[in-house]
Amino acid sequence: MKVSVIIATFNRAKDLKGTLASMAHLSFSDPWELIVVDNNSTDNTEEIAREAAACFPVALRYIFEAEQGRCAAMNAGIRAAHGEIIVTTDDDVRVEAGWLDAAVTVLDDLGCDYVGGWVLPIWSGQRPEWLPDHGGRHWATIALLDYGNEPLEFGRRVPLGVNMAFRRAAFTQAGLWDNRVGRKAGTLLGQEVREWGLRAKAAGLRGFYAPDMIVHHIIPVERLRKQYFRRWFYWHGVSRAMLYEHARIDMEAPEETRLDYDKVPHIAGVPRYLYRTFLKALAETLRSAVRRDAFAAFENELWLWFFAGIVRQRWRDRGSHRDPNQSASKYTAPESHQVQ
């Protein structure tokens, strides 16, 4: 088996049906399989998957994973996969016919361990004026990605799990996804790719952006509202603080960690210098509001929500006992997330 495509899904039967129909038209000529991992759905997800399997052009397997969380579901899929290459995506995408060909080609051409590609929007509603129509920080908020037309090595820039491909050995060397920092129902946690990337780098693995590997991601109307962005940045802060608890990384730019955070002064578990950044962002938010610069005010406000998430999680982590010998360069997955 050359490729295993894994879709983790939770209560999105309608979206999943369209995604499976899209994948039925892939032009990939080598043997491949599709694995749908149902993460405790209460709708007719199983029925949709089994109906599709009856007429799908390749093997389509349905798996149920009871442990809640996208990472747990993806790990179940990886353990069940037969492919030399593991491709991950979501249940609400549309893929181009040459998607798998592009993934395999770039892995071979670049001789790397994993790749990630473009994630372009399918807008379910009108895009608001404050949301750019090109890549950037706000695109990442709604799970879109555009790093341009040329390959680049991942570092500060990271891929999105909705469009990634891995050599199977990458998970043997770096471990599986860490469900502690991944998306779960009722939250917007989402640092699993960045966390895995830290472990991959420590294991000597290399990943590249592959511009020819493209998926189109459905963006629901509710994600086109400022309230969603506020909530996302809050949970982004929570996620980064959780990662900080396990590996002392720069919470604003984990891949650029330069400081020894065991020596940095903290207030209530938060590095003291972040309070200065908070005051600057607060002041700029107020100045922008006075100038009636709504765009700048919202930009700075989002950082305040990010900081609020950090403070909330660091307060919850007070009194925890992290291994003082563990750092970002030594980060390892919990034992339960190692490849069996």
CATH at residue 99: 3.90.550.10
pLDDT > 60? residue 340: no
Domain carrying residue 287: 228-330
Residues in contact with 206: Cβ distance below 8 Å, sequence separation at least 6, in sequence order = 112, 113, 153, 154
Query: What secondary structure letter does DSSP report for 322?
Result: -
Residues 87 and 206 occupy one common structural domain: yes
337 inside domain: no
One-letter amino acid for residue 130 of the chain = W
Alpha helices in 247-271 (DSSP H): none
338 inside domain: no
- Taking residue 50's Cβ as centre, other Cβ atoms within 10 Å add up to 13
Q: What is the pLDDT of residue 61?
A: 98
pLDDT > 60? residue 308: yes
Q: How many domains does the chain have?
A: 2
Q: Which residue has the higher pLDDT, 136 or 247?
A: 247
CA–CA distance, 272 with 266 (Å, rounded to integer):
5
Among 208, 158, 175, CA closest to 71: 175
20 inside domain: yes
- Kindly report, residue by residue over 269-288, the tens digit of the pLDDT: 999 999 999 999 999 999 99
**Among 183, 200, 224, which residue terminates a domain?**
224
CA–CA distance, 239 with 180 (Å, rounded to integer):
9
| Average pLDDT over every residue of 136-151 | 93
Average pLDDT of the residues of the chain = 93
81 inside domain: yes
Residues 324 and 204 occupy one common structural domain: no
340 inside domain: no
CA–CA distances in Å: residue 171 to residues 197, 235, 294? 11, 26, 44
Contact of 7 with 19, CB cutoff 8 Å: yes
Residues 190 and 302 occupy one common structural domain: no
pTM higher than 0.85, yes or no?
yes
**Among 224, 252, 282, which residue terminates a domain?**
224
| Average pLDDT over every residue of 216-243 | 96
pLDDT > 70? residue 25: yes
pLDDT > 50? residue 325: no
| pLDDT > 90 in the chain, percent | 87
pLDDT > 90? residue 132: no
Residues 247 and 151 occupy one common structural domain: no
Which residues face 117 on adjacent strands?
Answer: 210
CA–CA distance, 81 with 99 (Å, rounded to integer):
19
**Among 224, 257, 288, which residue terminates a domain?**
224
Contact of 318 with 269, CB cutoff 8 Å: yes
- Kindly report, residue by residue over 181-212, the tens digit of the pLDDT: 999 888 999 999 999 999 999 999 999 999 99
Residues 62 and 154 occupy one common structural domain: yes
